[in-house]
Structure 1
Amino acid sequence: MELWWRAISEAEPGPKWAGLFAELWPAYKAWWLREGEDARPTYLECLRALERHMPEIVPIYEQLCALAGGGDLAARFLSFYRPPPYLSGCSQAIWPGKEPVLVRNYDYDPRAFERIVLHSGWQGRRVMGTSDGLWGLVDGMNDAGLAVSLTFGGRRVVGDGFGVPIILRYVLQTCTTAEEAGQALARIPSHMSYNVTVLDRRRNYLTAFLSPDRPAIMTHAAVATNHQERVEWDAHARMTASVERERFLLQRLTLHVEPEEKFISAFLRPPLYSTAYDRGFGTLYTAVYRPRKGEMELRWPRGRWPLDLNDFHEASHLIMTPDPRAVSEREQ
């Protein structure tokens, strides 16, 4: 498949974001309503949940709702409160060199992916990351030197909470350190189980295991795949090779600390790199975050795209997803 990526910058919510909404809303609307409108919370429930758990970003939310036309359904969607359930793969780890680096693979369905790097300056905080839900993020960093990334936590429980992309947006809008991020992640309810890894410019890091039915678990884990402290969904863990990927990364970090480039390159090959696009969890990109430098890099087996938080340039990038046979042949 050919996948066009775009890098978009807008200091405050405005015409560029409104254009994205107009372009992507039909697909998001169909997804949001796939279980019926009554399955989704009302606007008042959404607003009250945001005001209770993430009041600092309510002004941004209101700006976006206005740009989206002020409709009831769009406003409910943009809250990302109690969205439909969704699954992904993903691997992430922190390379512990002199300048620690957060590296992640995002494994998801290419037909349900924005392919947008969004650079914003909302509320005076510069944030750059991979967009999801039009203002949420699946990974990103801010101008305080804080980087975050998520993986699915490998549990089928769905509960009362927010979709994790909006939680990551909140963390990057309001937090400056891993400690602050951990406090936010511990108190904001997530509607499904996710693992969020955080790295700050002081070299501090944590991984939070979020769940809708039990308190968040804060760990010092440098690796996260698609289970939490133990495997709880055997079929999903086997299908995504979650345990195998975790062991592979832990061995690379504990047996010997290899050079940064060699460690990053491992994400572009099996067992970390997945070509299961037909099953909805092929690797769409590898992201590399260097929070002390304000640098982000997207990588693929045949290319890379460097991006700078402090010198961001809008652009588009064409990526060809690899033929599964070609990836396999490189390993032989």
Structure 2
Amino acid sequence: MSIELQFQAWKEDMPDQQWQKVFNQYWPGYRAWFLRSGTVGRPTYLECRKALRTYMPELIPIWERLVELAGGGDVESRFLSLWCPPPYIAGCSQGVWLDPHGYEEPMLLRNYDFAPVLLEGNWISTRWLGQRVLAMSDCLWGALDGLNEAGLSISLSFGGRTVSGTGFGVPLVLRYILETAQNTAQAVSILKRIPVHMTYSITLLDQAGEWATVFVSPDRAPEVVHQRAVTNFQHTVEWQQHAKATHAIERLEVLQQNLEYASHSHEAIQAMLCKPLYQEAWLRGYGTLYSAVYRPLSRSVELLWPQQSWRQTIQNFEEANRTISLSAY
């Protein structure tokens, strides 16, 4: 059985007709997800606006523009704030590779593991707050991973806990970091002050080679850990069923070895496209939908699949569409 994924690379400096087209395409699905516990189960418009103004005021004009493009409705505005959204769970492996010989630039490597039907597939180049941002979109304006003009790259992975609380959906936090931060240190400071609604691990790498892994949760203080490899648990496995289904322990062991012992970038990258890091359980929601290689120094990013690659840079971003076929079992 074959699964087809659609990816679209597009550029729009400020939100306009292209973003509106994407919104209209995905809104029915997002609306059903957002309202699955009813409107009373979600924060009010005023609560959402207050949260954005408190924690990410720079994004308010962009949010208002998006709400306008979305039709100006109450539900749309509350959803787009990403304040206390419904829970969602993904997989993912990510880590930082440093050349032991010092010849090649550092890389942020990540595999995004999720259900194919829930992939947006929008690879977007924007200039919302002054600096160019290239990111893989989620929740219509959040980011799963990305790179900015200052040379800061970032990615997320689910932290392996079902607890949810008061905070933002983490894709919007990543977007905010890409829009406003210049380096890893600034990004870490942001992660320490913005609440998130679920448990995630965030990996950062900037153009100077400075990196960090930050564990964030709604009920625990943010923690910066000296850990270059991350899968889907923090310190110890707390959700055994999820860890077993996604091979979280096995993936971490292989990823740690890969990042520690890979002598060249090609070797480190190829490991991401092989089992157990590359997962094929797409029909169960744990398949690798894309691998990404971020090189902050050269401001470049490459999306990878076993038989294809797609490279873009901050300076030269080309609009295009790609159909990726995956063999499912």
Aligned mates of 1:52, 1:78 — CA distance in 2:
16
Name the residue aligned to 2:71: 69
Please, what TM-score do these two structures have when normalized by structure 2?
0.96
Name the residue aligned to 2:87: 85
Aligned mates of 1:220, 1:310 — CA distance in 2:
32
Name the residue aligned to 2:24: 22
* Deviation of the 1:69 alpha carbon: 1.1
Q: Deviations over 1:251-293 (max 9, x none)?
A: 2233x23211111011111000111111111100001111111
Name the residue aligned to 1:4: 6
Please, what TM-score do these two structures have when normalized by structure 1?
0.95
* Deviation of the 1:183 alpha carbon: 0.4
Task: Answer yes or no: is 1:213 the counterpart of 2:215.
Answer: no
Aligned mates of 1:139, 1:229 — CA distance in 2:
22
* Deviation of the 1:178 alpha carbon: 0.3
- Answer yes or no: is the 8 Å Cα contact 1:226–1:242 preserved in 2: yes
Aligned mates of 2:259, 2:110 — CA distance in 1:
14
Aligned mates of 1:315, 1:143 — CA distance in 2:
21
* Deviation of the 1:323 alpha carbon: 3.7
Residue identity opposite 1:82 in structure 2: C
Aligned mates of 1:184, 1:220 — CA distance in 2:
18
* Deviation of the 1:48 alpha carbon: 0.5
Greater shift after overlay, 238-247 or 197-206? 238-247
Name the residue aligned to 1:330: none
What is the root-mean-square deviation in Å for CA atoms of aligned residues?
Answer: 1.0
User: Aligned ranges for residues 1-332 of structure 1 at < 5 Å?
Assistant: 1-97=3-99, 98-254=104-260, 256-324=261-329
- Answer yes or no: is the 8 Å Cα contact 1:301–1:322 preserved in 2: no
SS of 1:310's equivalent in the other structure is coil
- Answer yes or no: is the 8 Å Cα contact 1:5–1:116 preserved in 2: yes
Aligned mates of 2:84, 2:224 — CA distance in 1:
23
Q: Deviations over 1:32-69 (max 9, x none)?
A: 11121111111111110111111111111111111111
Aligned mates of 1:159, 1:248 — CA distance in 2:
32
Residue identity opposite 2:242 in structure 1: H
Residue identity opposite 2:304 in structure 1: R
Aligned mates of 1:77, 1:135 — CA distance in 2:
11
- Answer yes or no: is the 8 Å Cα contact 1:139–1:148 preserved in 2: yes
SS of 2:292's equivalent in the other structure is strand
Residue identity opposite 1:142 in structure 2: N
Q: Percent identity?
A: 47
Residue identity opposite 2:307 in structure 1: R
* Deviation of the 1:134 alpha carbon: 0.7
Aligned mates of 2:50, 2:276 — CA distance in 1:
43
* Deviation of the 1:200 alpha carbon: 0.3
Q: Deviations over 1:125-165 (max 9, x none)?
A: 11001100111000000000000000000011100001010
Aligned mates of 2:36, 2:275 — CA distance in 1:
34
Aligned mates of 1:125, 1:135 — CA distance in 2:
16
Q: Deviations over 1:230-252 (max 9, x none)?
A: 11111111111111111111122
* Deviation of the 1:226 alpha carbon: 0.1
Residue identity opposite 1:179 in structure 2: A
- Answer yes or no: is the 8 Å Cα contact 1:205–1:220 preserved in 2: no
Structure 1 unaligned spans of 5+: 325-332
- Answer yes or no: is the 8 Å Cα contact 2:92–2:158 preserved in 1: yes
- Answer yes or no: is the 8 Å Cα contact 2:281–2:328 preserved in 1: no
Residue identity opposite 1:43 in structure 2: Y
* Deviation of the 1:22 alpha carbon: 1.2
Residue identity opposite 1:52 in structure 2: T
Aligned mates of 2:294, 2:144 — CA distance in 1:
13
Q: How many residue pairs were aligned?
A: 323
- Answer yes or no: is the 8 Å Cα contact 2:283–2:328 preserved in 1: no
Residue identity opposite 1:309 in structure 2: I
Residue identity opposite 1:101 in structure 2: M
Structure 2 unaligned spans of 5+: none
Residue identity opposite 2:140 in structure 1: L
SS of 1:245's equivalent in the other structure is helix
